[in-house]
Amino acid sequence: MIDNDVFKALADPTRRTIFEKLAAGSMNASALREGMDISQPAMSQHLSVLRNANLVREERKGRFVNYEVNPEGLAQIAGWLAKYRAYWPARIDALRALLKEMDQ
Amino acid sequence: MIDNDVFKALADPTRRTIFEKLAAGSMNASALREGMDISQPAMSQHLSVLRNANLVREERKGRFVNYEVNPEGLAQIAGWLAKYRAYWPARIDALRALLKEMDQ
DNA sequence: AAGTCAGATAAGTGTATGCTTATATGTTCT
DNA sequence: AGAACATATAAGCATACACTTATCTGACTT
C-alpha cells in the first residue's frame, strides 16, 4: 500500500516542518536547515523519506539540490480522505466543493 | 501539535484497516477483530491510539463498547491538507483519476 | 453470589525509527 | 589537479512502537 509511506512520512513533526517550509517556496537542503537545529545528515535522511513518499521531489542544480513540494503525495492523502467523504463535517465543505469542481 | 496524533495513528496499516472497517459501520471491538488475526489486547491498544487521535469514539453499550468514526480526526487532516491547496491544481489529473477510481 | 464474557491495563520483548559521527560522492573554483 | 563545498550514505545507539502473555475491571446471567 502506498498510503503507508505518506502517513509514515508525515507522522514525524520535523518532516512536517520541512514540508511546510518547502510549501512556502522551494529551496535546497542547506537553506532548509536554517533556523532548524538539525544536522546535515538528519536533514538528508528526512528529505529521503519525504521523497519516497512522493511528498517532495528534487532537482539537481549544479552542486546544490533544489527541493520542492510534489503534489503527488498530497493527492494520495486527498484520495484517502475522499473515501470517507460521508463523514466529512460541514466545516470542511469547501474542500468537498473543490474536489467536486475538479471532478467535472 | 494535534496533527501529530492523527498522522501517527494513521501511520500504522493495521489501524487504517480498523478505521476503514468502522467507516463501513460502527461495531464493538470483538466484531472488529473478526477476520483480522489480531489479539484482543492489540485491538484494544490500537483503538486507544485511534481514540486519542480523535479518529474514533466509543460508546458503552452495557458490557460491549461500540466504536464509531469520529469526524474530528478527519477534519484535522482536511485542515492540514487545505493549507497546501495551492499545490493541488498542479496535478488535477491525478486528483481526477483518484476521484474517478473511488466513484466506482 | 458465582461464573462468564467484553474490554482495558501491565509488563516484557523484538524491531523500527531518528539521531549521531565518520566517510563517501559529486560539483564548482582556483 | 587539488581545495572547498553540498549532499548522500554507513554504522552505531537510544528511544519509540507494536506485539505478546498475564491480570484486572466492570457488566450481564443464572
pLDDT in tens, B4-21: 899 999 999 999 999 999
Q: What are A55-98's pLDDT values in tens digits?
A: 999 999 999 999 999 999 998 998 898 889 888 765 555 555 55
Distance from CA of B67 to the nearest CA of A (A): 14
Question: How far is it, in rounded angstroms, from Cα B61 to Cα B64?
Answer: 5
Backbone angles phi, psi at B55, to 5 degrees: -90, -15
Query: A24 at the B interface (CB within 8 A)?
Result: no
Q: Sort out which chain A residues have CB atoms less than 8 A from B4's CB and list them.
A: 11, 13
A97 contacts chain B (CB < 8 A): no
Could you give all domains of chain A from N- to C-terminal order, each with its CATH number? Answer: 3-103 (1.10.10.10)
Per-residue pLDDT tens over the stretch B48-79: 999 999 999 999 999 999 999 999 999 899 88
With both helix axes pointing from N to C terminus, report the angle between A3-10 and B3-10 in degrees, rounded to the nearest 10: 150
* pLDDT in the model for residue B69: 97
- Residue A29's H or E segment, with its range, is helix A29-33
Q: Are A72 and B88 in contact (CB under 8 A)?
A: no
**What number is the average pLDDT over the span B28-39?**
97
* Mean pLDDT for chain B overall: 88
Do A26 and A96 form a contact (C-beta atoms < 8 A)? no
Give the mean pLDDT of A6-23.
98
Q: Mind listing the pLDDT tens digit for each residue in A39-60? A: 999 999 999 999 999 999 999 9
Q: What pLDDT was estimated at residue B57?
A: 97
| C-alpha cell of residue B56 | 474514533
